[in-house]
Amino acid sequence: MIERLTLIGVGMIGGSLALALRQGGFCGEIVGYDRDIQALQKALESGVIDRYAEDPCAAVSGAEVVVLATPVRAVEAICRTLRDCLAEETVLTDVGSVKGDVVRAVVAGFGRLPQNFVPGHPIAGKERSGIEAASADLFVGRRVILTPVAGTSAQAQRKVRLLWECAGSVVEDMALEHHDEVLAATSHLPHLLAFTLVASLSRLGESDEIFRYAAGGFRDFTRIASSDPIMWRDVCLSNRDAILNALNHFEHDLQGLSEAIAAGDGRRLLELFSNAKRSRDRFCH
Amino acid sequence: MIERLTLIGVGMIGGSLALALRQGGFCGEIVGYDRDIQALQKALESGVIDRYAEDPCAAVSGAEVVVLATPVRAVEAICRTLRDCLAEETVLTDVGSVKGDVVRAVVAGFGRLPQNFVPGHPIAGKERSGIEAASADLFVGRRVILTPVAGTSAQAQRKVRLLWECAGSVVEDMALEHHDEVLAATSHLPHLLAFTLVASLSRLGESDEIFRYAAGGFRDFTRIASSDPIMWRDVCLSNRDAILNALNHFEHDLQGLSEAIAAGDGRRLLELFSNAKRSRDRFCH
Ligand SMILES: NC(=O)c1ccc[n+]([C@@H]2O[C@H](COP(=O)([O-])OP(=O)(O)OC[C@H]3O[C@@H](n4cnc5c(N)ncnc54)[C@H](OP(=O)(O)O)[C@@H]3O)[C@@H](O)[C@H]2O)c1
Ligand SMILES: NC(=O)c1ccc[n+]([C@@H]2O[C@H](COP(=O)([O-])OP(=O)(O)OC[C@H]3O[C@@H](n4cnc5c(N)ncnc54)[C@H](OP(=O)(O)O)[C@@H]3O)[C@@H](O)[C@H]2O)c1
């Protein structure tokens, strides 16, 4: 039983976690801290948090678990502030979409890696951000990946696992580097393709016209290009190598497709599309 | 008032058109022809068509309008068969996703361009194909582009326009080459990216695992990779130049993105993502 949980960053993900925990029967106190005071007020008024503090150290005081749910780029500065006030026994976790860089930021902020820090990433999201976009069901049935590192306390890890299970998630462990590679391919790459496609189209002659003729599938296909540009800039900067690697593979495959089209190689095209359709249909029902 | 309409190809698009016309108050007879006799039987049993013929010439006999709704690659052979039996006054139209190649196929089949042929393309679709996937609402509020060429009869064009309006569509005219370029960018390119992304991911190490971690957005993003491989092979073969051009532009933009990531150029990344988000939000509400 966790008696007090502190959220640093009361936005879409942080707010959704608080709502999900309540829905899952969490009865402890939820304290919020955010640099955006209006977000805190909204979270308080709508019952997402029980109270807030205007200073991170006051917010984490007496907390059994602290969840970092700010953008990844804010983690280092926050940890530097928490360095002298976070109790040794408090469990610290995060929700960042990349893990290698978060661990580096935590180490840089604390000057060491706290044993009770458990890197985490819920594989669930939305294009909209901010506390208004929070929803209690965001994590239900979705995976949360924990990427413990050498020295991570097993007890802290157990506590974080229980927390996410209470929010309705399925929790798994994964090696940190592997997480960053897998997510570069399955999440970061698709987002970059969507952003690039929309950018590419809007540069064409009369872009009003171009978008007017974009058919039904296009809307779904580019939905993720409505995601928060700041978050995606941060993801690119903090998972650079894995993303460049995924982009490289993709560009190579796209080049192969171009060549098959240029050569009028119908057999190759059919094979390529059939394999892709088979994989898609097998994995996404 | 059209008294008899013949569908050559009673699949997803042809069947949807028949259903949409009925829903729009079309009271003429709808005759079907397809190489797939089971599709014809299903269409008859479910009331999509009023009767069918097992030979194209019998099917078009006495028809005021004939709609070619087979895959694009079948058009030439069908026109060769219709050459000696299609009445001079019968209006002929098609639904193919590319237009330049269809016109070439019609000319090759008939040995000339029939004045009453009106090239058309409904900008509406589905991943599923076949008569079972037909639906009466597919075209409601969606655009249909007609690409008349020099010599196309204005009266035939008017008739085809009325037909699609009866099916609930918004009809527009466009120059044929422009259609093929615009569609290469807004429809063909996104489909190719989706196919390539799925193919690229499924080649990675353990693709079961890869797809397991693909988040919500991924499902929408790759839905169009479930589309009919044969149709997309045909599109690639028949709109080669415009597609290669669109791919080229996209590859160039993707290269620019790679470079910005490699250089850690946060300003450039933010600008790129912000512009894309703005365009997306502006055009797709
Ligand atoms: N969005 C997704 O789909 C998704 C999915 C999985 C994981 N994640 C991860 O979740 C994290 C948060 O994303 P989100 O979508 O919840 O973002 P969000 O809705 O924008 O919420 C982030 C909140 O943190 C605040 N904040 C920013 N810098 C801060 C600082 N230095 N100190 C305190 N608070 C600060 C923000 O305030 P301001 O508004 O003033 O900036 C905002 O209220 C990111 O690390 C992301 O990688 C996101
Ligand atoms: N699908 C879309 O989203 C979409 C959108 C806009 C336009 N279009 C265009 O619509 C056309 C049809 O697509 P669809 O999705 O309706 O395909 P579909 O559901 O597969 O229907 C095509 C039908 O034509 C039959 N056919 C094939 N070759 C034939 C031939 N030589 N003679 C007579 N019938 C033949 C097919 O039979 P078999 O099953 O035996 O091959 C099938 O019953 C394509 O040209 C495509 O470019 C499609």
* pLDDT of res. B127: 87
Question: Do A167 and A221 fall into the same domain?
Answer: no
Domain boundary among A140, A174, A208: A174
Which H or E run includes B240? helix B240-262
Question: Do B66 and B164 fall into the same domain?
Answer: yes
Tell me, yes or no, if A205 comes closer than 8 A to chain B by beta carbon.
no
Buried b (16+ CB within 10 A) or exposed e, B127-150: bebebeebebebbeebbbbbbbbe
Contacts of B249 in chain A (CB under 8 A): 200, 203-204
Instruction: Give me the interface pTM, i.e. the ipTM.
Output: 0.91
Nearest CA in chain A to B237: A264
| pLDDT one digit per residue (tens) for chain A, 285 residues | 799 999 999 999 999 999 999 999 999 999 999 999 999 999 999 999 999 999 999 999 999 999 999 999 999 999 999 999 999 999 999 999 999 999 999 999 999 999 999 999 999 988 899 999 999 999 999 999 999 999 999 999 999 999 999 999 999 999 999 999 999 999 999 999 999 999 998 887 666 777 777 766 788 888 899 999 999 999 999 999 999 999 999 999 999 999 999 999 999 999 999 999 998 888 776
CA of B34 to the centre of ligand 2 (A): 9
**SS3 state of residue B130:** coil
For residues B225-231, give the mean pLDDT: 93
Answer whether A247 sits within 8 Å of B232, measured CB to CB: no
Which residue's entry shows tokens 């639904």?
Answer: B95
Q: Find the CB nearest B204 among A185, A221, A270.
A: A185
CA nearest neighbour of B149 among B221, B94, B226, B204: B94
Q: Find the CB nearest A186 among B124, B201, B264.
A: B201
Which H or E run includes A270? helix A266-283
Determine contact, residues B131/B12, Cβ cutoff 8 Å.
Answer: yes
Q: Find the CB nearest A221 among B202, B203, B221.
A: B221
Q: Whose CA is nearest to atom 2 of ligand 1?
A: A125
Question: Do B91 and B206 fall into the same domain?
Answer: no
Question: Do A125 and A216 fall into the same domain?
Answer: no
C-alpha distance from A132 to closest chain B C-alpha (Å)? 18
Structure tokens of B49? 């068509």
Determine contact, residues B25/B1, Cβ cutoff 8 Å.
Answer: no
Domain containing A189 — which CATH number? 1.10.3660.10
pLDDT tens column, B130-154:
999 999 999 999 999 999 999 999 9
Answer whether B280 sits within 8 Å of A244, measured CB to CB: no
Domain containing B162 — which CATH number? 3.40.50.720
Ligand nearest to the CA of B68: 2
Residue B268: pLDDT above 90? yes
CA of B221 to the centre of ligand 2 (A): 24
Tell me, yes or no, if A270 comes closer than 8 A to chain B by beta carbon.
yes
CA of A121 to the centre of ligand 1 (A): 13
C-alpha to C-alpha distance for A1 and B1, rounded to whole angstroms? 74
C-alpha to C-alpha distance for B268 and A225, rounded to whole angstroms? 16
Question: Do B38 and B111 fall into the same domain?
Answer: yes
C-alpha distance from B252 to closest chain A C-alpha (Å)? 9
Ligand 2 first shell, C-beta below 6 A? B 8-14, 34-36, 39, 69-72, 74, 77-78, 95-97, 122, 125-126, 129-130, 231
Answer whether B214 sits within 8 Å of A274, measured CB to CB: no
* Most distant pair of Cα atoms in chain A: their distance: 68
CA of B268 to the centre of ligand 2 (A): 44
Answer whether B253 sits within 8 Å of A196, measured CB to CB: yes
Q: How distant, in Å, are the alpha carbons of A36, A39, B24, B52, B79 from that of A11?
A: 9, 7, 48, 60, 61
Question: Do B192 and B260 fall into the same domain?
Answer: yes
Domain boundary among A174, A209, A224: A174
Task: Using the atom order of ligand 1, give the atom closest to the CA of residue A15.
Answer: 16
C-alpha to C-alpha distance for B112 and B175, rounded to whole angstroms? 20
The radius of gyration of chain A's CA atoms, rounded to the nearest angstrom, is 21
Residue B24: pLDDT above 80? yes
Question: Do A107 and A125 fall into the same domain?
Answer: yes
Walk across the sheet containing B143-146 and list its strands: B120-122, B143-146, B170-173
Residue B105: pLDDT above 80? yes
Q: Find the CB nearest A277 among B125, B225, B261.
A: B225
Range of the domain at B95: 4-174
* pLDDT of res. A218: 81
Tell me, yes or no, if B261 comes closer than 8 A to chain A by beta carbon.
yes
Q: Find the CB nearest B210 among A186, A255, A280.
A: A186
pLDDT tens column, A27-63:
999 999 999 999 999 999 999 999 999 999 999 999 9
pLDDT tens column, A141-164:
999 999 999 999 999 999 999 999
CA of A71 to the centre of ligand 1 (A): 4
pLDDT band at B205 (very low <50, low <70, confident <90, very high): low
**SS3 state of residue A249:** helix
* pLDDT of res. B285: 66
**Ligand 1 neighbour A68 (Cβ under 6 A):** no
Structure tokens of A14? 């942080």
Tell me, yes or no, if A133 comes closer than 8 A to chain B by beta carbon.
no
Question: Do A167 and A209 fall into the same domain?
Answer: no
For residues B227-235, give the mean pLDDT: 94
Residue B59: pLDDT above 90? yes
Question: Do A209 and A162 fall into the same domain?
Answer: no
C-alpha to C-alpha distance for A63 and A86, rounded to whole angstroms? 9
Please report the sign of the dihedral spanned by the C-alpha atoms of residue B98, residue B101, residue B107, residue B108: negative
Tell me, yes or no, if A187 comes closer than 8 A to chain B by beta carbon.
yes
Answer whether B279 sits within 8 Å of A250, measured CB to CB: no
Tell me, yes or no, if B175 comes closer than 8 A to chain A by beta carbon.
no
Question: Do A117 and A189 fall into the same domain?
Answer: no
Q: How many CB atoms lie within 10 A of CB A36?
A: 14
Give the CA-trace dihedral at A204, A210, A216, A217, to 10 degrees: -10
* pLDDT of res. A226: 92
Question: Do B222 and B250 fall into the same domain?
Answer: yes
Q: Whose CA is nearest to atom 38 of ligand 1?
A: A36
Answer whether A269 sits within 8 Å of B236, measured CB to CB: yes
* Chain mean pLDDT for chain B: 94
Nearest CA in chain B to A265: B237
C-alpha distance from B147 to closest chain A C-alpha (Å)? 14
Domain boundary among B112, B139, B174: B174
Buried b (16+ CB within 10 A) or exposed e, B229-266: bbbbbbbbbbbbebbbebbebbbebbeebbebbeeebb
Answer whether B202 sits within 8 Å of A276, measured CB to CB: yes
C-alpha to C-alpha distance for B272 and B265, rounded to whole angstroms? 11
Question: Do A188 and A235 fall into the same domain?
Answer: yes
Contacts of B264 in chain A (CB under 8 A): 237, 240
How many domains does the structure of chain A reveal?
Answer: 2
Residue B204: pLDDT above 90? no
Contacts of B175 in chain A (CB under 8 A): none
CA nearest neighbour of B137 among B112, B159, B109, B169: B169
What share of chain B in percent tops pLDDT 90? Answer: 87
**Ligand 1 neighbour A181 (Cβ under 6 A):** no
